Amino acid sequence: GSKQPMITRFFGKV
Amino acid sequence: MLELRLVQGGLLKKVLESLKDLVNDANFDCSASGFSLQAMDSSHVALVALLLRSEGFEHYRCDRNLSLGMNLNNMAKMLKCAANDDIVTIKADDASDSVTFMFESPNQDKIADFEMKLMDIDSEHLGIPEAEFQAIVRMPSAEFARICKDLSTIGDTVVISVTKEGVKFSTRGDIGTANIVCRQNPSIDKPEEATIIEMEEPVSLTFALRYMNSFTKATPLANQVTISLSADLPVVVEYRVAEMGYIRFYLAPKIEE
């Protein structure tokens, strides 16, 4: 199976 | 005081049509440099960034930075009431809790104004780092939309692989498998039909077709789409908005468990 990571894992809060 | 007059009002209609299914509510940020938006879908898997530079507007007045919280579905409903060739003006007062959309027909014989309530939206602003991509594919936007639509009838995910041979879109599902290869094609005579591949090194990533299909709602904005890929990083799917800016969609690749 594959997992869908959230975009927040790559781009941090400013 | 904010007053933005866009002669190509149809562009704003197309922008909203491409956003409204992905994002429910968002803050439009207005500054001297332009009208922009950054928002995630409700599951925080995809991110969209829109920029319409101030120079692209016929008249652009923004006295101080303003954030306009809007329900995109409602904004799309209002903009649908404008004709494709109408001139659209967006107006808001600094302290106001509403925004006005004014639609003028090209020969000025019909003028409409629609006032929409603004919302307070708590939104996180994410920092998008500048990235060097392993591969950048530029291809006809309608072709990309067709591929995503076709593959989603067979599978849920698409593997996008870029090699020297071209870009391959693959899926698999219960009924079988599909592979579509698009080769580089400079198409000198019709640049809008070109497929251009810039590759530093081969890359292969898996994405959810549901999101890719949602991004292709922006197809009417531009003849070409740019797909930028790097291993283990979100893909960037970019449509230019005439000469005034862009709409960029970011989606994280799926990870094998």
Model confidence pLDDT, tens digit, residues B14-28: 999 999 999 999 999
Span B80-91, average pLDDT: 97
Rounded to the nearest angstrom, the minimum Cα separation between A6 and chain B is 4
Structural tokens at position B34: 């332009």
Q: Which two tokens stand for residue B97?
A: 């809790």
Q: How near does any CA of chain A get to the CA of B123, in Å? A: 10
Determine the residue among A6, A8, A9, A10 to mutate to test chain B binding: the one whose Cβ has the most chain B Cβ atoms within 10 Å. Answer: A10
Give the whole-angstrom CA distance, residue B138 versus residue B39.
Answer: 24
Residue B237 pLDDT class (50, 70, 90 cuts): very high
Rounded percentage of chain B residues whose pLDDT exceeds 70:
100
Cβ distance of A3 and B254 shorter than 8 Å = yes
| Residues of A in Cβ contact (< 8 Å) with B253 | 5
Interface of B with A in 81-120 (CB under 8 A): none
Residue B173 banded pLDDT, cuts 50, 70, 90? very high
Which three-class secondary structure state does DSSP give residue B147?
Answer: helix
What is the pLDDT, as a whole number, of residue B95?
81
CA distance B99 to B118: 7
**What is the mean pLDDT of the segment spanning B190-218?**
97
Selection from B28, B24, B18 nearest residue B72 by Cα: B24
Residue type for position B27: N
Q: Do B254 and A9 touch (CB under 8 A)?
A: no
Q: Give the confidence band of B165 by pLDDT, cuts at 50, 70, 90.
A: confident
Instruction: Give the mean pLDDT of B122-141.
Output: 93
Q: What is the spatial distance between Cα B102 and Cα B88, in angstroms, rounded to a whole number?
A: 6
Name the phi and psi angles at B11, rounded to 5.
Answer: -65, -40
Strand-strand pairing, B166-173 and B176-182: antiparallel
**CB-CB under 8 Å, B254 with A7:** no
**pLDDT confidence of A14, banded at 50, 70, 90?**
confident
- The answer to whether residue A1 scores a pLDDT higher than 80 is no
Percent of chain B with pLDDT strictly greater than 90 = 93
DSSP string of A1-14, one letter each residue:
-EE---GGGTS-B-
- What confidence category does residue B47 fall into, taking pLDDT thresholds of 50, 70 and 90? very high
Cβ pair B233:A10 closer than 8 A: yes
What residues of chain A have any CB closer than 8 angstroms to a CB in chain B?
1-14
pLDDT reported for residue B188: 87
Residue of A nearest to B211 (CA): A4
Do the Cβ atoms of A9 and B120 come closer than 8 Å? no
Q: What is the pLDDT of residue B164?
A: 87
Measure the CA–CA gap between B17 and B220, rounded to whole angstroms: 9
Contact between chains at B256 and A13 (C-beta distance less than 8 A): no
Strand ranges of the sheet holding B157-163, from the earlier edge strand across to the other edge? B176-182, B166-173, B157-163, B203-208
Q: Compute how many other C-beta atoms are within 10 angstroms of the C-beta atom of residue B118.
A: 17
